[in-house]
Amino acid sequence: MPTQILQSSASVTLLGGGEVSDAQLARALAHAPVVAAADGGADSALARGHVPQAVIGDFDSISSAARAAIPPDRQHVVAEQESTDFEKCLRAITAPLVLGLGFLGPRIDHQLAALNTLVRFPDRRCILLGDEDLCFACPPDLALDLPVGTRLSLFPMAGLQGHSTGLHWPIEGLDFAPDGRVGTSNRVAGPVRLRMARAGMLVILPQQQLDAAIAGLMAAPPRG
């Protein structure tokens, strides 16, 4: 497949096939005005009056009505079955930021696959939004301006160590692993600074902290 399907100087709202509320979409579009869709997410976009700039996936869930409504040159079928539609999209979109909606739904296997993709593409700035929480892969050095008391969870998708300031329970010296120690339900005690020794850590925040998450992720230096 082409390495780049959608190149945008503006940030992209990427719709998956899960449930997306009108309020959630409106908030995402305020930050990421270009709409793209992963396969059946095209139906969700069209139902809300948006024709995606690109639809990417294996096209096993997009409706025939959606295919008829979207210009053919915006439809990009990637037939291989070695990756999810979300991964196909993340590989093919170049933008300052991708906000993904409809990927953190009721299907646990779909959620886990999306989180797996986040940490395997740590150089792509991408935030997944759910009904309650948002999630993104932690860059090597991340500063977050969050209200004191905000819940901040760290979930490792690989074995790693890190350093923190501004958390109620510091993480210095802890060995994190997906089958070992995790960092759920920590709390913000002041200005947060996270440094990770390697890729593989997910940051999970209440979705109300989207603005702070975007600011921190966009200001983070690129991975060396």
What pTM did the predictor assign? 0.96
Q: What would be the CATH architecture of the domain defined by 6-131? A: 3-Layer(aba) Sandwich (3.40)
Q: What is the token pair recorded at 140? A: 């090597």
pLDDT at 142 over 90: yes
Which is nearest to 156 in space by CA: 196, 129, 127? 196
> At 1, is the pLDDT very low, low, confident or very high (cuts 50, 70, 90)?
very low
- Residue-wise DSSP of 71-139: -GGGEEE---SSS-HHHHHHHHEE-S-EEEESSSSS-HHHHHHHHHHHHHSTTS-EEEE-SSEEEEEPP
**What distance in Å separates the CA atoms of residue 66 and residue 42, rounded to the nearest whole number?**
7
What residue segments make up the domains of the chain, in order of their start? Answer: 6-131, 141-219
pLDDT of residue 224: 62
| pLDDT tens-digit readout, 163-221 | 999 999 999 999 999 999 999 999 999 999 999 999 999 999 999 999 999 999 999 99
User: Is there a contact between 45 and 68 (Cβ–Cβ < 8 Å)?
Assistant: no
pLDDT interval class at 223 (50, 70, 90): confident
33 in Cβ contact with 53 (< 8 Å) = no
CATH 1.20.58.710 is the classification of domain 141-219:
no
Q: 């069209």: which residue's tokens?
A: 46
Mean pLDDT of the chain: 95
Percent of the chain scored above 90 by pLDDT?
92
